[in-house]
A = this chain, B = another copy of it.
């Protein structure tokens, strides 16, 4: 691994990087994840409830698995990144338990220099494995990376196609023995969510520097922009930028209210951090139901959901448009909108709720 991390020039297409620093997930990580994000899904915090669903004990929260796998890749991919641009076809393939050791491999799929010439976009696919070399998570992402030599053109112009949606084929979906909704407090099942419906999430959460730094260090994600105020002072924002994954986790934790019976995430079709978030911002979220997917089973169905997070404006109190016209009249993401995540959630059908 290069001291100071890879730059755009190092990330040409066709490499298979074995990302260093394997990480055993522990009960300590799980407790910190709850304390940092406010996660309340009982599948991830109650052994009793997890066993009632057929698990041996609580699996590790899917987003915590994502953050740890993602963290493995930062040193080689995004240490010198001003920002992650997007995700595609992310799949949670298999449950992870405390005591499992996660590692990651990343393939570089494409690269393209930007027109200004000081950065480039790199497309990669990362796979997270457990200690039995079973894949537990796979995802595509594309990310802006600084060039080492901004004045030397690379000619890189190789942008691959990204999958438009995630395949659910390889995902290990447990068979529900029974589902005790008194453990979640939820009253709605797969059949009760209608495409086109908006699920409001009433709570808001103000973010602190110490919190996002603790979270990001827990995942051993060392990207410079999150930690180094001395450097950020002279950046465009003048401040540390909160790790986008922390925003996903906090927004997702807020979305528990209204989606209490969701078992967890199966996959992401795509996602984008549409604007940066800073300490002191208060995060809100809502969920739009995009599609009800019948998995052909009588215990569990899937919902395609769009989780949107915004900052410093309460969507429960006023309309928050997703897009607003910029100075040039072109529609862009509303500067208050910070996350737009299109994902597939698993949720029991009524028949399971005996």
Interface residues of A (CB under 8 A from B): 1, 3-5, 18-24, 26-32, 34-38, 40, 42, 45-49, 58, 75-76, 98-99, 101, 103, 131, 182-187, 200, 202-206, 208-211, 213-215, 217-218, 220, 222, 224, 227-231, 240, 257-258, 260, 280, 282, 284, 312-314
The one of B23, B28, B206 in contact with A46, judged by C-beta atoms closer than 8 angstroms, is: B23
Distance, CA A45 to CA B28, complexed state (A): 12
Contact A228:B200 (CB < 8 A) given known A20-B42, A217-B36: no
| Contact in complex: B206, A35 (CB < 8 Å) | no
Is chain A's binding surface mostly helix, strand, loop or mixed?
A: mixed
Distance, CA A34 to CA B21, complexed state (A): 13
Residues of B within 8 A of A31 (CB): 26-29, 31-32, 218
The one of B42, B224, B313 in contact with A21, judged by C-beta atoms closer than 8 angstroms, is: B42
| Contact in complex: A20, B185 (CB < 8 Å) | yes
Residue of B nearest to A23 (CB): B45
| Contact in complex: B48, A214 (CB < 8 Å) | no
Q: Taking the nearest CB of chain B, how far is it from the CB of A280, in angstroms?
A: 8
| Contact in complex: B214, A228 (CB < 8 Å) | no
Contact A204:B230 (CB < 8 A) given known A23-B46, A260-B20: yes
Chain A to chain B: the 9 pairs with minimum beta-carbon distance, closest first: A28-B31, A20-B185, A1-B185, A230-B282, A210-B210, A206-B229, A204-B228, A35-B218, A22-B46
| Contact in complex: A38, B217 (CB < 8 Å) | yes
| Contact in complex: B24, A47 (CB < 8 Å) | yes
Distance, CA A335 to CA B179, complexed state (A): 49
| Contact in complex: B312, A230 (CB < 8 Å) | yes
The one of B27, B186, B229, B313 in contact with A27, judged by C-beta atoms closer than 8 angstroms, is: B27
Q: Taking the nearest CB of chain B, how far is it from the CB of A320, in angstroms?
A: 13
Q: Taking the nearest CB of chain B, how far is it from the CB of A64, in angstroms?
A: 11
| Contact in complex: B208, A224 (CB < 8 Å) | no
Q: Taking the nearest CB of chain B, how far is it from the CB of A107, in angstroms?
A: 16
Q: Taking the nearest CB of chain B, how far is it from the CB of A348, in angstroms?
A: 15
| Contact in complex: B26, A220 (CB < 8 Å) | no
Residues of B within 8 A of A284 (CB): 230
The one of B19, B23, B228 in contact with A203, judged by C-beta atoms closer than 8 angstroms, is: B228
Contact A228:B205 (CB < 8 A) given known A48-B24, A101-B47, A257-B3: yes
The one of B24, B27, B40, B214 in contact with A28, judged by C-beta atoms closer than 8 angstroms, is: B27
Interface centre among A1, A58, A230, A314 (most CB of B within 10 A): A230
| Contact in complex: A20, B211 (CB < 8 Å) | no
The one of B30, B47, B215, B257 in contact with A35, judged by C-beta atoms closer than 8 angstroms, is: B215
| Contact in complex: B38, A220 (CB < 8 Å) | yes
Residues of B within 8 A of A204 (CB): 224, 227-228, 230-231
Residues of B within 8 A of A48 (CB): 22, 24, 101, 103, 131
Contact A4:B231 (CB < 8 A) given known A22-B49, A28-B29, A42-B22: no
